Amino acid sequence: MFAEMETQPRLTKTYRLLVRGTNINETSLLATDYLNHFNEVVMLFELIPDMPEMLEEVEEWKPATYTEHFAASGFSDKELAIWSYENAPHEYIHAFEDLVATANEQIFATVDLLKKLNGTIPEDAFREQTMAKVREITLTLEQISGVINGTVPRYDQAEIDDIMDQDAIDSLFD
């Protein structure tokens, strides 16, 4: 076991050298190109208040793992991106995966909410609800970007309480 612990830091240094000069972060060994997967659906959400029929397109969105996204992408360093992800430091992977799961949940919850609200409330209220949800998703995407760029988020109790309070507010609309 000690040999594994000794080897991991040296291997991480090697991985970081291999990604130098690419769009893969040398600290986290992750690439921001993955965020394009989410940015597409956020753009569709932003269109919904003016074009409610876009909700059908948003419903077709499917989550993709980091590996699935890069395997299907035209990203020039896609094999290196996948390999780097598989060898990224655990603290980044855990934070990244948790936040990606949160973003996926937010997207599905937003779709469900907008389907319920579409045509049942005034247009201004629908727009307000849609854009509030877009802001929530965008904040999560900013956190994912932070992890990709080498920052692992840490929350204090007040921030956790705020997140929990927002969930309570959201449940009122379910």
- Beta-carbon contacts of 75 under 8 Å, excluding residues fewer than 6 positions away, are 23, 31, 33, 81
Provide, rounded to the nearest whole percent, the portion of the chain with pLDDT above 90: 68
CA dist 171 and 56 (Å) reads: 23
User: What is the extent of the structural domain holding 19?
Assistant: 2-171
Mean pLDDT for all residues in the chain: 85
| pTM for the whole structure | 0.79
Total domains, the chain: 1
Which residue shows structure tokens 């040999």?
A: 3
- Write the pLDDT tens digit of every residue in 17-74: 666 667 788 999 999 999 999 999 999 999 999 999 999 999 999 999 999 999 999 9
Give the pLDDT confidence score for residue 149 in this predicted structure. Answer: 94
87 pLDDT more than 60:
yes
CA dist 50 and 56 (Å) reads: 14
- Beta-carbon contacts of 133 under 8 Å, excluding residues fewer than 6 positions away, are 45, 106, 109, 110, 113, 114
Asked if 107 contacts 61 with a C-beta cutoff of 8 angstroms, the reply is: yes
Asked if 57 contacts 63 with a C-beta cutoff of 8 angstroms, the reply is: no
